[in-house]
Copies of this chain bind each other. A is one copy, B any other.
Amino acid sequence: MIHFEGVSKVYEGQTALANATFSVERGEMLFITGPSGAGKSTLLKLIYHAVAPEEGSITINGQRTDSMRARHIPALRRNIGVVFQDFRLLSGRTIYENVALAMRIRDAAEAQVKAQVMETLKMVGLRHKADAYPDALSGGEQQRVVIARAIVADPIIVLADEPTGNLDPVTAAGIMRIFKDINSRGTTIVIATHNKDLYANTGRRVLRLDSGAIAGEDRG
């Protein structure tokens, strides 16, 4: 589903990812871990093409994306749901509208939007906040809105960047149950996290990054 071959990303002299080669199978759930600044977010950004690599090839769902034409990028991104590390909620729109956006971009019918948005908000425990604006939510509530937006449109890949950084252990476990659930229905999931609890005893693959290099791989 996702294949990196010798991929490197350099920001103005700062190497964020160096010669990374790895694959994620369809329907897999992969964890990425490593110290602060190791390149986890960069790796995810390369998948949804927020940044392009300096070297190497990236294949997503059978399609080469590293040197993709700009006009094909939106279609690629519509296949991917992203939990951004910095949230990226639109402050001028309600929680409902923020989550609905992911479906509107995909031209979903209004009735379907409403049903699916409300159901997803219920899953993350925020149905009662549908009409609030992001500023009126706690940090953890905002993070759950971002998670809802990432999964609401049933993308074939979900990328989650530190999705539980602002969540208490109980809520975090709830979110992980949701991820496991959609994963079991076939969605490929990649989670970048520092939180060992998320992958401990799951038996899932864990990729360790250090200073931009893949430093090892084991099972949680």
Contact = CB atoms under 8 A, between A and B. Distances in A.
A74 interface: no
A212 B85 CA distance: 27
A24 B153 CA distance: 47
B85 A166 contact: yes
A33 B170 CA distance: 12
Nearest to A34: B168
A169 B200 CA distance: 14
Contact of A35 (B136, B139, B170, B194): B170
Contacts of A161: 139
Interface in A112-156: 136, 138-141, 144
Interface residues of A, number: 29
Nearest to A167: B36
Interface in A9-51: 11-12, 33-37, 40-41
A180 to B, nearest CB: 20
A33 B140 CA distance: 13
A107 interface: no
Interface in A159-198: 161-162, 165-172, 194, 196
Contacts of A169: 194, 196
A136 B140 CA distance: 24
Interface of A: 11-12, 33-37, 40-41, 85-86, 136, 138-141, 144, 161-162, 165-172, 194, 196
5 contacts: A36-B138, A37-B138, A37-B141, A162-B166, A165-B165
